[in-house]
Structure 1
C-alpha cells in the first residue's frame, strides 16, 4: 500500500488531524482495525507503562501531544552474542554516534533489553536530540539525569529511571529497524502518538488513513452515549442505541 511522503503537506495534515483526538480514541480505532491471532490479547497499539519523564506534571500542565513518525534504535546487551549483523544501511558508521544521526520531526523510539538496569539515554543525548529537531523520545527502558532531561525541554516517555550510564550494559545494534516496546511492534515510519495524560500509542503506518476515517464515528457515538447517560438513560440502553 502506498503511503504519503513524511515531508508532504498531505501527511502533515494527517498528523495535525490526529491532534484532535486522545490516545484512547486511537486505541479504540485500532482495536477494531488490527487483526489478532486466536488467543492473542489485542494491544491496540498501547505501550503499557510508558509514561512522561522526568515529571508527569511537566507534560500534563501543557496537555501537549506529540504526534510524529518513528525513528528507531535497537540496543542489545554488550555481554550477549548477537546472532546476525544488521544490514549495512542500519548500522551506525564507525566513528559516528547514533544520536548524531537522529532525524528531525520524528519520535526516536529506543528498544532496550527488558532486564537491563542502566539508562538508555541521559542529559547529553536528550540535549543533542533537541538540537537535531527531534519531536520526542520513547524509551522502552530507563533514563537518567532528570534535571538535565527537564532542562532539555525534549518530551521524553519511558518505563523508569536509573543512575547508571548506558555503557554499563548496552550497546547499539542497529537503527531504523523494527523494534518491540513492551510487546508492541514498532517499525520506522509508524506514527507515534504521545499523549501525556493517557499514554503512548503506535499507529502502523498502513493503518493511518483507516484510523483517521474511523475515529470520528467512534467519538461521535460515544458523545451520544454520554449525553444519553447524563439524561438518565441506562448505559446498556445507550450502548444498544448508539453503539449498535
Structure 2
C-alpha cells in the first residue's frame, strides 16, 4: 500500500513529531514496550487487533484461530481487556504470556510485518531465530489458556497509560483495526487512519524530517540549536 511504503521511510519519532503538530499530545506513542526480536529497521503495517479477556468474562471465546487468518503485511496488536490492565508497571494483571514462538512462526509464514503484544510473551529464542519483529511489556513462561481467552478479532482495543497529572489516574490510547503502526527500537506509534488531518500528517512528515536534517547540519557547524530550529521550521 502507498501509505505503508511512505511510512517505511521514517521512524516512529518522525511520525510522533507530525502527530504532535496536529494535536496528538502523546505523539501516538504506545509506552512501556520493549523490542524483543527482529532487525532495527522500521516496521509498518495496518493493525490487526486481538483482544483477550478473563476466562470468567461473559463474552464467548472466539473459536477461530486469530493467527491463522492474520493478513499479509499486518501488524498484530494484542491487548487485554481494560480491567486486566494497570497504568503502571507491570502494566497488566496477567502473569501468563499471551503470545509465543509458534505464533510468530505462523505470523512470519503468513507474511505479517510484526507483533505488538501489550502483555507478556514467551519463547524469546524462537522469535529471535525467526528474526521476526516482536514488542512486548515483558516475558513469561506460561501459556495464556488457563487464565484468558480471545473475545475479539479486529475490534477496537484500549491501552491504559499513566498520566503526569495528579488528578487523573490514566489516559486511554485507542487502536482500531486498520490503524497504522510504525515501530522500531524506539518503540511503537499508532497513526489513527480516522484522524481528521490524516493526509496532512503524511505530507508534514517529510517536510519536518528535511527541516531537522538542516538543523542538524547547522548545529554541527556551531549554530545555536534554538536559533536553527526556529529558522528551519518557520514555514512548516
Tell me which interval the TM-score lies in, with the shorter structure as reference length: 0.7 to 0.9
TM-score (norm 1): 0.79
Match of 1:164 in 2: 142
CA RMSD after TM alignment: 2.0
SS at match of 1:168: coil
User: Which sections of structure 1, spanning at least 5 residues, go unmatched?
Assistant: 1-11, 36-41
User: Which sections of structure 2, spanning at least 5 residues, go unmatched?
Assistant: 85-91, 162-171
Once the two structures are superposed, the pairs formed by residues 107-126 of structure 1 within 5 Å of their partners are 107-112=75-80, 113=84, 114-126=92-104
Measure the CA separation in 2 of the matches of 1:236 and 1:154: 40
- Selected match of 1:185 from 174, 197, 201: 174
* Count, aligned residues: 211
Measure the CA separation in 2 of the matches of 1:133 and 1:211: 27
SS at match of 1:173: strand
Measure the CA separation in 2 of the matches of 1:97 and 1:234: 56
Answering whether residue 61 of structure 2 is matched by residue 73 of structure 1, we say no
Once the two structures are superposed, the pairs formed by residues 35-114 of structure 1 within 5 Å of their partners are 42-54=25-37, 58-59=38-39, 63-79=40-56, 81-82=57-58, 85=59, 92=62, 94=63, 96-112=64-80, 113=84, 114=92
Structure with a larger share of its residues in helix = 1
Deviations 1:50-92 (A, max 9, x none): 12214xxx52xxx32211111100001224x44xx48xxxx73
Q: Which moved more, 1:143-152 or 1:106-115?
A: 143-152
Deviation at 1:153, TM superposition (A): 3.3
Once the two structures are superposed, the pairs formed by residues 218-233 of structure 1 within 5 Å of their partners are 218-233=208-223
Measure the CA separation in 1 of the matches of 2:125 and 2:213: 41
Match of 1:215 in 2: 205
Measure the CA separation in 2 of the matches of 1:135 and 1:231: 39
Match of 1:15 in 2: 4
Match of 1:201 in 2: 189
Answering whether residue 231 of structure 2 is matched by residue 241 of structure 1, we say yes
Q: Is this contact kept in 1: 2:10–2:42, CA < 8 A?
A: no
